[in-house]
Structure 1
Amino acid sequence: MESEKKRRASKPKVKSGCRTCKIRRVKCDEGRPACKRCVSTGRVCDGYGIWSEGRKTTYGGNSGAPRVFQPLLSSYNAPVPIPHAACAEQKCVEWFIECTIFKIGGVFSSQFWGRTVVQALSQEPAVRHAVMALASTHKYRAQRSDKDTTMASQLSEHEKFTLQHYNKAIGCLHAEIRRHSQRPQSVIVALITCMVFVTLELMRGQYRTSHAHLQHGLKLVKEIQKLSGTSKTGKIMIRTSSQTNEDDVIEAFSRLGVHYALLGHGTKYSNLDYDIQPRHLPYKFESIEQARQYLDVLLAKAQCLVELVRHIETGMCVATRGYEQYLESQWRLEKDLEIWLDVYRSSLDGFSAQDLIKNTLATRLLGMYHTMASIMVRTCIPWDDDMAFDLQTDRFMSIIREAIDMCQALRTAYPDFPMSGSLNCPLGMAFTMDIGFIQPLYYTAIKCRIPQIRRHAIGLLRLAPHREGIWNGALTARIAEEVVAYEESNIDTSFTVGKSLDLLSLPEAGSSVTILPSLCRISDVHVELPDENTGEATVTFWQREDGRSWKVGERKFQTEDP
């Protein structure tokens, strides 16, 4: 018996399970983010290690073994145990897992927010303090029902707590980099913390500060991919199947970079280009997230081509290739978008739908963004031919149709969803870092010159009570209205339409539509957001002709959120 016991004791340690159960040499149920065995006995679960063997970031171009994806942590009840955390801090972490992730993640599953950030916050002090600052801001904004009745003392206490943890996060990050400046994990920690800062500043209305964080983060992404050999072309490489924390982080940064470019920040993000691994499309998409991943890169490439051609034709940069090669790039992108649509349609029946409403919204959104990308590619060459958008009426109508289907799905799920005006929803409960219908509707409103269609797009924008990253439904609706007013100011009144719209019915373009003259059209709209959500956004309108572009107007709008 004694020899048998000795042989038992000398068995190697189990490689799975949390650190606490490993030390105790007991079987772990491997619950995430904390195992139930530890939580039920009152112990602190030390977690599974964001940098554990199965999660090591790979460098030098070698891919590690695939890991099993964990579902979104919003489905778990076990809180993340933070040793020595005060009650207020622990509540912040719980709020982040139960509410913040769900809201800012959007309708698509977010591996970055639901997995990478949650695992990191329990082990990396910089991420933990950044998350506490974000959760505090989100909770404060979500729970205030009336701005006018908010007590100054509550606001002061909230700001104090937020800034305290914000500063602690910065301090911990500096200390981490000083101690381990060459450690690859330190770079990933810096990027995770940076994206949390980007989100926090957007939620606080500090747009310029958020923009600065994003630019620094994207620069760091390009540097680490270049050093690791992941990308040899200078493009940001995105994987369609996330394998490391690095993949999750790069996905989050690349998507937000495209969002900024589409709002008129293209000149600041024109040096960004994206590639995907693997490069070929599968015969079928395994999930709606994989379909979205491929479409993200096609949309980024479309935006990059638009900016590149614009810079060349206005003399802002010298063409590195012949014009025929740019036409070939346009043709290839059109074909890639057509192939994506064929694969997507053949894959729809195979997508699992745990949440029917989210699945409906996700499929409609991908349809809208695919249509918008197709319009961008088809109209980008030649750059100064704004009349090319007149041939895209059916596609603009398709964007409206998808948006109406989304509204109908929301009204079915939520009978109180309004079909006029907008929802009076606190910012914290109406903020997401993911895509929504604001971008395609805004694009439709300023690029489609059919009066009924563009006004319908503006009416649907007015319904949006929320922000999608930097995109504000009410603000974009106001900008679009100014564009319409400028373009139609010298047009006969019979050209315009009435304001009464049935937003759940498709608009009627009519058989005979007056064509808006080229010289009346706004070709570019640039938006500069302030560093406070009650400040003024500066919007400039540009026209172009014969390879020249000039500013024709400027407007200022209050950016205060509803």
Structure 2
Amino acid sequence: MIGDKPAPPVKKTRARRPKVKTGCKTCKLRGVKCDEAKPICRRCISTGRTCDGYGIWGGGGNAYGSVSRITNSSRSPSSLPLTTITTTTITTSTCTPGPLTSTRTLPPLLGATTQHEHRAFEYFFHRTSRKLPGIFDSPFWSTLVFQASACDPAVLHALIALGAVDLGKATRELACAAERVRGYERVALVQYNKAIVSLGVHFRRGGGDARRVALITCMLFICIELLRERFKTAKTHLGNGLKLLGEMRRGEGGRKRGGELVVNTELESVDDYLVEAFTRFNIHSSLFGQDNILLYTIAPHPSCADHAIPRAFTTFRIARLYLDTLINAIYNLAHQVASLSPASPIPKHYTNTQSHLRSSLDQWLKAFQTSLPTLTTHHPLIAPLVTPLLHTYYTMSTITLSTSLSPRDELIYDSHTAAFESMISLMRGVFETILSAHAPLGDEIPDPPGFTADMGFIPPLFFVVLKCRDRVVRREALELLDGAPHREGLWDGIMAGGVGRRVVEIEEGGSWGDEKGQGEVVVPG
């Protein structure tokens, strides 16, 4: 009725949600329980949301959004989803992403960018990040480095510097490209310096997250120096990174046993990704003959000293992790025995360790053979490469272990000629598979000799050249090295072949030099 007072408005109350103190930023805002999976919350991903992560560790409400993996189409079935960068997030599509053309694809963290800086970033995204891990998966390169670069200037600057160095090397082969090459060199220098300046902020701040940023940036620095063939500087970065990693894990109560750091093979945490990446480089350096300050063991579970091997492996990568555990332990044993006085008897515990590692290697091979049918079915594209490569490193490990208690007896290798022949046969198959699968990158940028941060077939071939006394087997190894004009971390195929020839000339009275002379060889320090 006219004159009646209007009914008082109904007061709306917001539904009460429980307070959430832990978890990713997205789950905190939604007031729901987070599963706290890192680097990305599974609850957000399963509902199609963008996980804003845990500070720098995961998600990304910035330029990279909900990235859980950046898939390389050349290594994975075409049916798998690929990630495509947009201005605000990463969305999935079933086609291979084309070259990026808009500067909006760069994280807003960088602000205005030059054409060379933008091109270096997109080259890193499409090319460099996909070749660095080699044929094995690496969450560090496929996920962590991009998420960290979306949040932190130090990582982003180092990432662009690495892309610029790699792109500059690829561009050198182009006609009339001198000015472009100089442009990329300038970008690399400027971005490298900016990364160093940004790291200073983290070191002043201190804490675990600051160390993680430093470690990610350090790994990028290592690859930059390796690409520039500055091996001593790369080794210095590796040593500093290993020490920093040890300090961080011990300071935060990381799982450790004696002097070793361990990482779970499920690789759920950012720290596990970092330990895996640095441990692979550490093994790489050990195979190269470099002395390392510390040895870190990738272990399948906290009781790493037991080297317990499962009955089967769920992925090739898990099989690789267990083999890495054994390789690290074997080279650790060999290094300790070699440091003994020649007149000293071999302590009993070294003999026991050798016996235990031999048993573990046998268990690894049995588990790998049991897993092969399933692994080959699930990973048909990489199986022809991964299978013989893992078998080769297994064989090399058995030889190294068998000779580890006799470091000064080179004749002991004569009893392993059949194993050396097996390694050559396996590596020849790998080489033929690579050649048959080779495809040029396109007309714009030629396909130069490649670089990968992981181990491939150069170290085992060089091992055969150095240790095998069979002339035929040695020459087959050298011929395969001649066909490897690429680099694997510290290992350069051409350099390794040159050093191998010099060794043969010395041991066989110059017979190889008479047949196939080569120039001087400079071994990196």
Normalising by the residue count of structure 2, what TM-score does the alignment of the two structures yield? 0.78
What secondary structure sits across from 1:381 in the alignment?
A: coil
Conserved 8 A contact 2:221-2:234: yes
Structure 1 residues 408 and 351: alpha-carbon distance in aligned structure 2, compared to 1, 3 A threshold: same
Q: Does 1:48 align with 2:70?
A: no
Conserved 8 A contact 1:431-1:468: yes
Q: Does 1:70 align with 2:101?
A: no
Q: Does 1:156 align with 2:163?
A: no
Residues 243-263 of structure 1, C-alpha deviations (whole Å, 9 max, x = no match)? 211111111111111111211
Conserved 8 A contact 2:361-2:398: yes
Task: State the alpha-carbon separation in 2 of the partners of residues 282 and 4 from structure 1.
Answer: 61
Partner of 1:421: none
Alpha-carbon shift at residue 387 of structure 1 (Å) = 1.2
Structure 1 residues 372 and 222: alpha-carbon distance in aligned structure 2, compared to 1, 3 A threshold: same
Task: State the alpha-carbon separation in 1 of the partners of residues 126 and 416 from structure 2.
Answer: 43
Partner of 1:242: 267
Partner of 2:162: 134
Q: Does 1:82 align with 2:80?
A: no
Conserved 8 A contact 1:72-1:110: no
Conserved 8 A contact 1:222-1:236: yes
Q: Does 1:475 align with 2:495?
A: yes
Q: Does 1:442 align with 2:432?
A: no
After the TM superposition, which residues 230-269 of structure 1 pair with which residues of structure 2 at under 5 Å, given as runs? 230-265=255-290, 268-269=291-292
Partner of 1:59: none
What secondary structure sits across from 2:521 in the alignment?
A: strand
Q: Does 1:97 align with 2:125?
A: yes
Alpha-carbon shift at residue 264 of structure 1 (Å) = 1.8
Structure 1 residues 388 and 5: alpha-carbon distance in aligned structure 2, compared to 1, 3 A threshold: farther
Alpha-carbon shift at residue 401 of structure 1 (Å) = 1.1
Structure 1 residues 334 and 256: alpha-carbon distance in aligned structure 2, compared to 1, 3 A threshold: same
| 1:451 partner amino acid | R
Alpha-carbon shift at residue 129 of structure 1 (Å) = 0.7
Give the count of matched residue pairs: 457
What residue ranges of structure 2 are gaps of 5+ in the alignment? 1-8, 32-38, 41-49, 61-65, 73-81, 87-104, 441-445
What secondary structure sits across from 1:76 in the alignment?
A: strand
Alpha-carbon shift at residue 22 of structure 1 (Å) = 8.9
Conserved 8 A contact 1:452-1:497: no
Conserved 8 A contact 1:50-1:120: no
Alpha-carbon shift at residue 413 of structure 1 (Å) = 2.5
What secondary structure sits across from 2:340 in the alignment?
A: helix
What secondary structure sits across from 1:281 in the alignment?
A: coil
Conserved 8 A contact 2:501-2:513: no
Residues 153-174 of structure 1, C-alpha deviations (whole Å, 9 max, x = no match)? 3333222211111111111111
Conserved 8 A contact 1:270-1:307: no
* C-alpha RMSD of the superposition: 3.7
Conserved 8 A contact 2:23-2:54: no
Residues 318-362 of structure 1, C-alpha deviations (whole Å, 9 max, x = no match)? x8x962221111111111111110011101122266663422211
What secondary structure sits across from 1:145 in the alignment?
A: coil
Conserved 8 A contact 1:73-1:115: no
Q: Does 1:459 align with 2:479?
A: yes
Conserved 8 A contact 2:171-2:177: no
| 1:472 partner amino acid | D
Structure 1 residues 260 and 3: alpha-carbon distance in aligned structure 2, compared to 1, 3 A threshold: farther
Q: Does 1:366 align with 2:364?
A: no
Q: Does 1:272 align with 2:306?
A: no
What residue ranges of structure 1 are gaps of 5+ in the alignment? 26-31, 34-44, 56-67, 417-423, 500-554
Structure 1 residues 497 and 358: alpha-carbon distance in aligned structure 2, compared to 1, 3 A threshold: farther
Residues 250-292 of structure 1, C-alpha deviations (whole Å, 9 max, x = no match)? 1111111111121121xx2164252514132111111110000
| 2:360 partner amino acid | D
Structure 1 residues 141 and 107: alpha-carbon distance in aligned structure 2, compared to 1, 3 A threshold: same
| 2:83 partner amino acid | Y
Structure 1 residues 443 and 224: alpha-carbon distance in aligned structure 2, compared to 1, 3 A threshold: same
Normalising by the residue count of structure 1, what TM-score does the alignment of the two structures yield? 0.73
Task: State the alpha-carbon separation in 1 of the partners of residues 18 and 119 from structure 2.
Answer: 38
What secondary structure sits across from 1:302 in the alignment?
A: helix
Alpha-carbon shift at residue 20 of structure 1 (Å) = 8.6
Partner of 1:426: 448
After the TM superposition, which residues 211-222 of structure 1 pair with which residues of structure 2 at under 5 Å, given as runs? 211-222=235-246
Structure 1 residues 496 and 196: alpha-carbon distance in aligned structure 2, compared to 1, 3 A threshold: closer
After the TM superposition, which residues 283-322 of structure 1 pair with which residues of structure 2 at under 5 Å, given as runs? 283-314=311-342
| 1:274 partner amino acid | T
Partner of 1:536: none
Conserved 8 A contact 1:270-1:304: no
Alpha-carbon shift at residue 4 of structure 1 (Å) = 10
Alpha-carbon shift at residue 21 of structure 1 (Å) = 11
Residues 195-220 of structure 1, C-alpha deviations (whole Å, 9 max, x = no match)? 11001111111111111101101111
Partner of 1:39: none
Q: Does 1:174 align with 2:181?
A: no
Partner of 1:413: 437
| 1:462 partner amino acid | D
Conserved 8 A contact 2:56-2:151: no
Conserved 8 A contact 1:106-1:434: yes
Task: State the alpha-carbon separation in 1 of the partners of residues 244 and 505 from structure 2.
Answer: 42
Task: State the alpha-carbon separation in 1 of the partners of residues 187 and 24 from structure 2.
Answer: 31
Structure 1 residues 177 and 347: alpha-carbon distance in aligned structure 2, compared to 1, 3 A threshold: same
Partner of 1:487: 507
Task: State the alpha-carbon separation in 1 of the partners of residues 455 and 504 from structure 2.
Answer: 25
Structure 1 residues 4 and 434: alpha-carbon distance in aligned structure 2, compared to 1, 3 A threshold: farther
Task: State the alpha-carbon separation in 2 of the partners of residues 385 and 222 from structure 1.
Answer: 35
Partner of 1:108: 136
Task: State the alpha-carbon separation in 2 of the partners of residues 415 and 432 from structure 1.
Answer: 17
Partner of 2:405: 381
Conserved 8 A contact 2:57-2:148: no
Alpha-carbon shift at residue 396 of structure 1 (Å) = 0.6
Task: State the alpha-carbon separation in 2 of the partners of residues 373 and 14 from structure 1.
Answer: 49
Structure 1 residues 223 and 215: alpha-carbon distance in aligned structure 2, compared to 1, 3 A threshold: same
Structure 1 residues 381 and 169: alpha-carbon distance in aligned structure 2, compared to 1, 3 A threshold: same
Alpha-carbon shift at residue 221 of structure 1 (Å) = 1.6
Partner of 1:332: 356
What secondary structure sits across from 2:504 in the alignment?
A: helix
